[in-house]
Amino acid sequence: MTRHPLRWHQRARFILAHRLTLPLHRLFNLFPHYEVGLSSVDISRIECRHAPLAGRRAVQISDLHLDRYQSRHDAVVRAIAGLQPDWIFVTGDLLNVPDGLPHLFRFLSTLRSMAPVYLTLGNHDHYSGIPVDRFSEMADRHKLTLLINQVAFVAVGSGELGIVGLDDPSLHRADLRCIPPRVPGRFTVLLAHAPNVFDHLHETHAVDLMLCGHSHGGQWRIPRIRPFWLPYGCSGRAGGHYDRAGRRLYVNRGLGWSILPIRWSCPPEVLVIDWTDSAPPDNRAPE
Ligand SMILES: [Fe+2]
């Protein structure tokens, strides 16, 4: 997958959805206590086998849609602090409107005081009207690592963690050419907002684990029934653990909301990734 334009009807659908939901986001930002199902956060856990990283831990959060800092964000901060991560990954949809920037970076800089933070952008970030350069400038100022079709490497003992951050695949902005070649001792995590890019990975892409969001888990669910709606770019994946041809993908339900501030039978989620030197159990999460 390389960057290429959306078809006109896909682009029209994204713009229409964003334009329709923007007034709702602005309205409900004025009434932050009118939220349902967002106050408590599930902690999900997966394990990855890679001896050089054994004992290390990362946390992934996604889909913050953080236009206004609220007490529930303090609860997320406390939960992540209690997990004592070595790294924190944030997979896009950081906010919806430019007014959210100071609120968003208040939250992210608090996380940065705990561990290095790696960010990617999602569709709502691009449609917020905030230039990518502005996101980069704010990230630099707060000592956060924003990855836009870029990779960062962290040396860990005898091994290395590679962190690839793609631009949003749902807007066809991802460029897989930034994925580095396989190197002994390196574990590569791929961060991307939307899961559709998982289907474009092939054998030569040295990716050990892919982490995404975008789906909100369906946001409104009836237990044991498939989601009513998933946004373009999910490829039918609502949440949890998936594998294909030996590759692993985790789709995080995210922390925020779209359209209405309601999550029904679909609580916000923080994912913990623990590295181990023994074979991990079957991490597959039921749909
Ligand atoms: Fe989102």
Per-residue pLDDT of the chain (287 residues; tens, 9 = 90+): 667 777 787 777 777 777 778 888 888 888 877 888 888 999 999 999 999 999 999 999 999 999 999 999 999 999 999 999 999 999 999 999 999 999 999 999 999 999 999 999 999 999 999 999 999 999 999 999 999 999 999 999 889 999 999 999 999 999 999 999 999 999 999 999 999 999 999 888 999 999 999 999 988 888 888 888 888 898 889 999 999 888 899 999 999 998 888 898 899 999 999 999 976 665 554 44
Q: Ligand 1 centroid vs 18 CA: distance in angstroms?
A: 11
- Distance separating alpha carbons of residues 156 and 47, to the nearest angstrom: 17
The pLDDT of residue 283: 54
> Burial code of 89-114, b = ≥16 C-beta within 10 A, e = fewer?
bbbbbbbbbeebbebbbebbebbbeb
Q: Ligand 1 centroid vs 207 CA: distance in angstroms?
A: 24
Provide the token pair at 115.
Answer: 């561990």
The pLDDT of residue 164: 98
The pLDDT of residue 258: 86
Ligand 1 (ion): which residues have CB within 5 A? 63, 93
Q: Ligand 1 centroid vs 52 CA: distance in angstroms?
A: 33
**Greatest C-alpha distance within the chain:** 52
CB 271 within 8 Å of CB 44? yes
Looking at the domain 8-276, which fold is it? Purple Acid Phosphatase; chain A, domain 2 (3.60.21)
**How are beta strands 150-156 and 145-146 bridged, if at all?**
unpaired
The pLDDT of residue 287: 41
SS3 258: coil
The pLDDT of residue 1: 64
Tell me how far CA of residue 189 lies from CA of 29, 209, 210, 262, 283, in angstroms.
Answer: 34, 5, 6, 31, 16
Torsions phi, psi for 190 (to 5 deg)? -105, 120
Please measure the distance between the N-terminal and C-terminal CA atoms of the chain and give it in whole angstroms.
Answer: 27
Q: Ligand 1 centroid vs 270 CA: distance in angstroms?
A: 14
Domain spans in the chain, listed from the N-terminal domain onward: 8-276
209 forms bridges with which residues in the sheet? 189
Kindly write down the DSSP assignment for every residue of 14-80, as one continuous string.
HHHHHHHHHHHHHHHHH-TT--BS-SS-EEEEEEEE-GGGTT-EEEEE-----SS--HHHHHHHHHH
Q: Ligand 1 centroid vs 95 CA: distance in angstroms?
A: 9
The pLDDT of residue 284: 53
- Considering only CA atoms, which of 191, 211, 103 is closest in space to residue 147? 191
Q: Ligand 1 centroid vs 143 CA: distance in angstroms?
A: 24
- Distance separating alpha carbons of residues 239 and 254, to the nearest angstrom: 9
